[in-house]
Amino acid sequence: MTGNWLRRGVGAVIAAVVLVAAALLWIAVASADPMTVPATVQHAFLGPFSVVYSRTRPPGRVMLGALALALLAMAGVALVTWRFSRTARASLDAASHPLSPHLVMNSTRGRYAGEVTITVLVPAHNEAERLTATLDCLLGQDRRPDRVIVVTDNCTDETAEVARATGVSVFDTVDNPDKKAGALNQVLALLLPDAGDNDVVMVLDADTLLAQGFLAAAARRFTTDRALMALGGVFTGEPGHGWLGMFQRNEYTRYARTISRRRGRVDVLTGTSTLFRPRALRTVASSRGHNLPGRAGDVYDTTSLTEDNEITIALKSLGALIVSPPECMVVTELMDSWGDLWRQRLRWQRGAVENIGAYGLTPATFRYWAQQLGIGYGTIALGAYLTCMTILFLAAGTWIWFPFWLGIGTVFMIERMVTAWPVGWAGRLLAALLLPELFYDLYLDVVYVTGLIEITIDRTASWGHEALEPETAALERQTAS
């Protein structure tokens, strides 16, 4: 846990490191021998049309150097992550890693904690329209939850009535200013003291649908592995929302594929659907204020914009074993406008960066720092590439095709199609076009840069869905009617 200076200065630190790295690369390229103008070849094509191309490719030493640097960077991150994971899992130090599998297994050996039970908490703020579908899907699981509690938080619609009509319990928060994290802290303060080791608690968003078999698979995991402290879902996007929906579904599908290839090892336990052992949540709460950021006694850090990312880092810092198995799939809400997507991703980005600033550079956060630096470096690379291509297109009298780079582009296109394959033909076609997804990535890069700037200037963060001013709310109601 670090001082407040890094929590606020983390954006400037990331930006400085990325800019220095980009400048060093620029200097290295500029100091090399100047390239000569490539000799071009022109061929007739389809009668009056012709193609001008060049066989020029980057020097071999440049390609080998770039490949070596990339491999070294990936190997370095993987080695540090593997080393921390192995050390934390084998730790017997109850002060630094109280949730390490060795300690958990030793303390529970020979003790029967009963059958696994699942209590589902559904935090809801004005979710009357979506809640019924979520609860019907939850109660329709082949392994039904043992208890469902809808946590209504500052609702002004009929969320509580919809929940009671479905037959589940309702917990209404009291004077909660801290949104989802505060609402969950209130209900967990009542549930956790009497919960046994196998009385698993699940947090499920009110706009999320579980795939059939989710709870059964999760219960099996917690039954067969006493050391498992948390299990997250693997999410995909709901149908619809046009082109913007396809962009998001392709993005989520690639993320799910990455988790599957990593055998469930996950960087973030999704806030849409995650299950926790009570021991894990109690340990997090007791560690707040000294070993972990946050207020002593709180499970969730109410100062964090992204409570799911923060509690993941908290659990990893305490040595916990967490997983997101591919059989635990969920369908979650997609943003239906570019403005909504901007607000969602800005909150995610700011939250992720502020979280690593709060924890500092530790073995548990090393991978997260590397990810943020990688995103920053990729932002510069993509921006520079698109800028150079635009200048070349506007300035060149003749467009010259380079077979080498066309080959690289073809490999990239195939990779994008393959990784988006489960989405269907629409998603595959979108991936094959390349440019639309490149500009979608550029949009997200602008969000990334905006997040770093807002953190650096200490601009007040927002969830993006606070209550409207009375005049605005009234105007929107009139417009809708």
The C-alpha atoms of residue 51 and residue 41 are separated, in whole angstroms, by 8
Among residues 50, 335, 52, 293, the alpha carbon closest in space to that of 181 is found at 293
Cβ neighbours of 346 (radius 10 Å): 20
Structure-derived torsion over alpha carbons of residues 100, 365, 235, 288, reported in degrees to the nearest 10: 60
The C-alpha atoms of residue 124 and residue 359 are separated, in whole angstroms, by 29
Q: Please state whether beta strands 329-332 and 117-124 pair in parallel, antiparallel, or not at all (unpaired).
A: unpaired
Q: What is the pLDDT of residues 89-125, one digit of tens each?
A: 777 778 888 999 989 998 888 788 889 999 999 999 9
pLDDT at res. 475: 35
- Give percent of the chain with pLDDT exceeding 70: 87
Among residues 464, 466, 156, the alpha carbon closest in space to that of 337 is found at 464
CB-based contacts of 22: which residues, under 8 Å, 6+ apart?
377, 380
The C-alpha atoms of residue 136 and residue 208 are separated, in whole angstroms, by 11
SS3 60: helix
The C-alpha atoms of residue 41 and residue 448 are separated, in whole angstroms, by 42
- Amino acid at the residue 449: V
pLDDT at res. 185: 95
What's 211's DSSP letter? P
- pTM, two decimal places: 0.84
- Amino acid at the residue 343: R
Beta strands in 173-280 (DSSP E): 199-204, 209-210, 228-232, 234-237, 273-276
The label of the residue with tokens 């929590």 reads: 7
Give me the sheet containing 209-210, strands edge to edge. Answer: 209-210, 329-332, 234-237
Domains and CATH numbers, the chain: 91-336 (3.90.550.10)
The label of the residue with tokens 């309702």 reads: 170
69 to each of 25, 64, 76, 78, 83, how far by Cα in Å? 11, 9, 10, 14, 21
Tokens standing for residue 25: 């690369």
In degrees and rounded to multiples of 5, residue 402 shows phi and psi of: -115, 105
pLDDT at res. 476: 40
Q: N- to C-terminal Cα distance for the chain?
A: 51
Tokens standing for residue 263: 């055998």
Q: Which residues of the chain have pLDDT under 50?
A: 465-481
| Helix residue ranges, H only, 360-402 | 366-395
- Per the DSSP assignment, residues forming a β-bridge with 331 are 209, 236
